[in-house]
Amino acid sequence: MAVFKELFDTYNWDEVKQSIYAKTKYDVERALNAEKRNLEDFKALISPAAEPYLEQMAQMSHQLTQKRFGKTIQMYIPMYLSNECQNICTYCGFSFTNKIPRKTLSDKEILKEVEFIKSKGYDHILLVTGEANTTVGIDYLENAIKLIRPHFSQISIEVQPLEQDEYERLMKFGLNTVLVYQETYHREDYKKHHPKGKKSNFDYRLATPDRLGKAGIHKMGLGVLIGLEDWRTDSFLTALHLNYLEKNYWQSKYSISFPRLRPHSGGLEPKVEMNDKELVQLICAYRLLDEEIEISISTRESENFRNNVIKLGATTFSAESKTNPGGYVVEPQSLEQFEISDERPTEQIEEIIKKQGYEPVWKDWEKSY
């Protein structure tokens, strides 16, 4: 069976970039009027030429989202299990070279955090670790999933890429969703930001969604770290990856996230800044390309931005996130992976969603409908 790398290798970064920036208003209008949009249309919608059409894109995105997802926002919360990591990544607070206290939660500590999270109403949890095979390898993850399975109807992970059989093993115990971000599809720059550790293997990471698809995962999440490279080119290559996966592993569902580079204790300045207007443009472009995709907005974004994006195409929100192991109850003071921007409590976010005429959903879609 073909893998994404074969398709990916037929694309040249500089040529893709050039073709996006060469799009004209006529290309944008054609994309907006198309009955079914393709990847060329997506290029036009993320191009600078589409900026004057933002209002129209936002209205269309709102309608398409409502048609498919109704007036609902699915709620989830991350739980960081460990900040131990064997990788060197230039942009991450957990990077191996950062001299920080390392912490991995014990069974007792996991259940303490779960108790707090459940008291807030969450039924959808995202387990996050650094990438340290010896400490938080497959056995640790299996144990953690078994421990929390009775408490949640949906369990997602964002951990190091695993082998197909390892994903299959975790799925037996209730794993539902895996998020794996390529960080950037620019091969040379990827190497620059991941000089050491297993994560420095670009091709292995690139093939992870293929392994997930073959394992038959219920849902996978894609994305890049916006700010490492030209966001338009990276977003097109993410859309190419998504398109390939939907064709080859149609039984899985897909979500997309837009993490923008945020400060941490090893501080990397973004190479490329993306403003709020551009992020709205990108969110709308994804919705216009793909009606089925779930669009996730995390607490990295500001309060104001999150309030306004509810009606524009977002389907999934986190709230009250802590990005340090034990951050809810066990060890609130330990070092975070990155800074949170929206620190409002869950109840406040719930209220804001309701005020806009939307319904916060605490379980997974098909379980609620």
Residue-wise pLDDT tens digits, 112-122:
999 999 999 99
More confident residue, 327 or 45: 45
Residue 331 has pLDDT above 80, yes or no: no
Judge contact between 299 and 266, C-beta under 8 A.
no
Question: What backbone phi and psi angles, to 5 degrees, belong to 204?
Answer: -65, -45
- Percentage of the residues of the chain whose pLDDT score is greater than 70: 92
Which residue from 209, 152, 151 is spatially nearest to 176, judged by alpha carbons? 152
Residue 367 confidence (pLDDT): 42
Mean predicted confidence (pLDDT) in 207-228 = 96
Residue 144 has pLDDT above 50, yes or no: yes
Indicate the pTM of the whole model. Answer: 0.93
- Range in 150-159, 220-229, 357-366 with the lowest mean pLDDT: 357-366
Distances (CA, A) of 138 to 102, 133, 144, 301: 19, 8, 10, 31
**Where do runs of H (alpha helix) occur along 174-289?**
187-193, 202-206, 208-215, 231-248, 276-289
Judge contact between 197 and 87, C-beta under 8 A.
yes
Residue 152 confidence (pLDDT): 96
| Domains along the sequence of the chain with CATH | 4-368 (3.20.20.70)
Kindly report, residue by residue over 260-314, the tens digit of the pLDDT.
Answer: 886 554 566 778 889 999 999 999 999 999 999 999 998 888 899 999 999 999 9
Which residue from 22, 37, 16, 51 is spatially nearest to 278, judged by alpha carbons? 51
Give 195's pLDDT tier (boundaries 50, 70, 90): confident
Other beta carbons less than 10 A from residue 215's beta carbon? 22
